[in-house]
């Protein structure tokens, strides 16, 4: 089974977000006060900061994490990796906070130059998280970099194809597009669940099923009721 990360040592599983594999030997997992609370604060702070400049708001990244976790369960990820994914995926668009002023919030579809600038948020997000030590933040950096890569090779920033794209990026790609379709944007109205689902599964001229991992699309079909029930 494909995994997001290498298996965590048993001693570290109680603190999987903040303990590096092997660190438990140094007693880090036995700290009286776990630093996971600080990680929660860091996550909230980063999402809040990014939301100040991104019209998608703070709820979109959290829902993307929830949806990616549901899809991850369906493709066989163990619980500790799903928890890691849900947390890390909330930072998928963290690079938008480093974009030039004026790129975000347009009421019209971006022109070619605006699109080029927007696409840089993947590289910027990976750069922001490049030196992170905590496993969930390292995974967040991978997701930030790869969630716009496409199964058919037509994505960015590197034009990766198929399983060359990390599993976390492939899961978040589907979750991100689904939630974007379900959400109001300055240039469009929100769509209902069935319409969003059909646009992803059948294509609509802008979205093509070939851009997504077919295994994850099958998971989306099977779990559509659970995904539709994610609070909005």
Q: What is the pLDDT of residues 167-180, one digit of tens each?
A: 999 999 999 999 99
The band of 23, judged by pLDDT with boundaries at 50, 70 and 90, is very low
Nearest alpha carbon to residue 125 among 163, 78, 172: 172
CATH tag, 55-228: 1.10.3210.10
41/69: higher pLDDT:
69
Residue ranges in the chain assigned as alpha helix (H): 36-53, 59-74, 79-89, 112-119, 121-128, 135-146, 167-182, 193-202, 214-222, 224-228
User: pLDDT tens-digit profile of 130-172?
Assistant: 888 888 889 999 999 999 999 999 999 999 999 999 999 999 9
Task: List the domain boundaries for the chain.
Answer: 55-228
Average pLDDT (104-133) is 79
Query: Taken in order 69, 72, 73, 74, is the CA torsion positive or negative?
Result: positive
Give tens-digit pLDDT for 3-14. 775 443 333 344
**Residue in the block written with tokens 């438990």:** 24
Alpha-carbon distance of 34 to 17, in angstroms, equals 10
- Measured distance CA(137)–CA(79) in Å, rounded: 18
Residue % of the chain over a pLDDT of 90: 50
pTM metric for this prediction? 0.80
Is the N-terminal amide bond of 141 cis, ω within 30° of 0? no
| H or E element in which residue 196 lies | helix 193-202
């Amino acid at each position: 089974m494909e995994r997001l990360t290498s298996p965590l040592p048993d001693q570290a599983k109680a603190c999987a977000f903040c303990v590096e594999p092997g660190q438990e030997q140094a007693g880090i997992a036995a700290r009286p006060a776990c630093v996971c609370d600080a990680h929660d604060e860091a996550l909230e702070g980063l999402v809040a900061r990014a939301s100040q400049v991104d019209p998608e708001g703070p709820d979109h990244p959290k829902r993307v994490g929830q949806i990616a976790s549901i899809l991850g369960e369906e493709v066989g990820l163990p619980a500790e990796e799903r928890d890691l994914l849900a947390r890390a995926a909330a930072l998928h668009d963290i690079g938008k906070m480093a974009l030039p002023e004026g790129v975000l919030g347009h009421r019209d579809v971006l022109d070619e130059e605006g699109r080029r600038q927007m696409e840089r948020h993947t590289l910027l997000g990976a750069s922001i998280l490049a030196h992170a030590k905590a496993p969930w933040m390292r995974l967040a950096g991978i997701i930030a970099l790869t969630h716009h890569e496409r199964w058919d090779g037509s994505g960015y920033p590197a034009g990766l194809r198929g399983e060359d794209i990390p599993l976390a990026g492939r899961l978040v790609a589907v979750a991100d597009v689904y939630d974007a379709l379900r959400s109001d944007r300055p240039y469009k109205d929100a769509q209902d669940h069935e319409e969003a689902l059909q646009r992803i599964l059948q294509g609509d001229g802008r979205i093509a099923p070939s851009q997504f991992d077919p295994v994850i699309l099958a998971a989306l079909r099977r779990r559509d009721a659970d995904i539709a029930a994610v609070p909005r």
